[in-house]
Amino acid sequence: MLLNLTPEQMSNPAMADSAGELGACLQCGHCLTVCPTQQILSGEFDSPRGRIVLIKNMLESDCKPDKKTVKHIDRCLSCLACLSSCPSRVNYMHLVDNARIHIEENFRRPLFDRLLRWSLAQILPRPGRLRLALRGAQLARPIAFAMPRKIRGMIEFTPSKLPPPSPNDEPQVFPAIGKRKQRVALLTGCAQKALNTDINDATIRILRRHGCEVVVAKGAGCCGALTYHMGKSRESIAAAANNIRAWMKEVNGAGLDAIVINTSGCGTVVKDYGHIFRNDVLAEEAAAVSALAKDISEVLSDIELDLKAMPDLRVGYHTTCSLQYAQRIRFTPKKLLKAAGFTVLEPRDSQTCCGAAGTYVLTQPDISNQLRARKVEALESIAPDVISAGNVGCMMQIGSGTGVPVVHTAELLDWATGGPVPRALEGVAKTV
């Protein structure tokens, strides 16, 4: 695809980066068949190919984005399924993220949308604020029917019960049980600390039992993904920089063998810190952090798990988009679950996005709900005893549409190696 940018435009690193990706696009259309929004909405501009044309026109004109462009870029899930089918390997992730930053800086949204997006950026990355907001949403549930569609969707998405804060999420060091084999840092996240504390607790337990000293580094927090994918680069860069400094302090101190991440959406962004900070004073440190970042399944696959129980359960495995497309980790979690004795099942359309996609479930509730219904139907068709996923957003999304228990892969593996039965499976779990 030919792109006409001025030398001044090309002096902007983000613009030059986008130009390279746009130039690689063949407009062949292979991405259309795998794009969830194109499948549901059927419009050309709700496909990666169509959005690439809109981005090209927006950047070439170097003017404020129009409403049409913003609408269709906002509808993109950033599921990155298109990466799996692109013959010219266009990095659509970088392209759409740069486009969102450009839109955020150059487009004035309607007042309600501005307030909504500002509120999400101020609340979701801060567990304390999120917990208060969720309490308020629970109280507002009886009158949700009278509220605007997006607000009503947020209230309906709020879980009926919230766990108390976990002391394990505070900065500290958990010693390895037995001989120390590795020293790792754990990204405890932000929203996850308010929505589901069992995930971090299970991760810490299984790592410790297998010889890992686990560090929750002081100063580390939100990875920046939630605000980064909203185009709010200032907030996301600040959050990421805090993490880089906190983890490099550990690297330069007692050292780290890995930075463990149990939320695949966060892992995708942390692994991309090297690219995001490539022109920053933290470039070298960011690259070092990206090299250390590993999904929990990657870490556990390098460890010989000490299996204690043989769980007799049919596990419907949901392959999260950020894990299979962005991080290219698709088979590792399933191999771990099978080795632990679970019967692992996948629906026929295992590559379909569930519609969570970070803040997408809150900003695009109608499309998100359609995707959730499709995903839940597919998972329930294989009659699982439990559904497993590697991302808290997907777990919340799927769990809100089914009565089948939904747990994190780390919780199942923790149980199989001597940990407690996952809370969601109490009364359901069986072992042989």
In this prediction, what percent of the chain has a pLDDT beyond 90? 82
pLDDT tier at 11, thresholds 50, 70, 90: confident
| Helical residues (DSSP H) of 141-224, grouped into ranges | 149-157, 191-195, 198-209
Separation CA 6–CA 385 (nearest Å)? 58
Q: What are phi and psi of 216, to 5 degrees?
A: -100, 100
Separation CA 96–CA 98 (nearest Å)? 5
- Domain 306-425 sits in CATH 3.20.20.70: no
User: Could you tell me the residue ranges of all domains in the chain?
Assistant: 7-106, 111-157, 167-300, 306-425
What pLDDT does residue 286 have? 98
Class of domain 167-300: alpha beta
What pLDDT does residue 432 have? 42
Asked if the model's pLDDT at residue 338 lies above 70, the reply is: yes
Cα torsion 371, 122, 114, 240 to 10°: value is: -80
Mean pLDDT for 195-208 is 97
Q: What is the mean pLDDT of the chain?
A: 93
- Token readout for 295 is 């999904």
Task: Give 381-421 pLDDT, tens digit per residue.
Answer: 999 999 999 999 999 999 999 999 999 999 999 999 999 99
CA–CA distances in Å: residue 321 to residues 60, 132, 137, 327, 404: 30, 29, 28, 9, 21
In this prediction, what percent of the chain has a pLDDT beyond 70? 99
What pLDDT does residue 31 have? 93
CATH of 7-106, one of 3.40.50.300, 1.25.10.10, 1.10.1060.10, 1.20.1440.230: 1.10.1060.10
**Which residues of 53-177 form beta strands (DSSP E)?**
172-174
Mean pLDDT for 117-129 is 94
What pLDDT does residue 140 have? 85
CA–CA distances in Å: residue 74 to residues 96, 163, 264, 362: 10, 32, 21, 12
What pLDDT does residue 41 have? 94
CA–CA distances in Å: residue 75 to residues 81, 303, 355, 357, 365: 14, 40, 11, 11, 10
Q: The pTM is what? A: 0.93
Mean pLDDT for 288-302 is 98
Residue 149 CB neighbours (<10 A): 9
Mean pLDDT for 231-259 is 97
> Do the domains at 167-300 and 306-425 have one common CATH topology?
yes
Task: Give 25-82 pLDDT, tens digit per residue.
Answer: 999 999 999 999 999 999 999 999 999 999 999 998 877 899 999 999 999 999 999 9
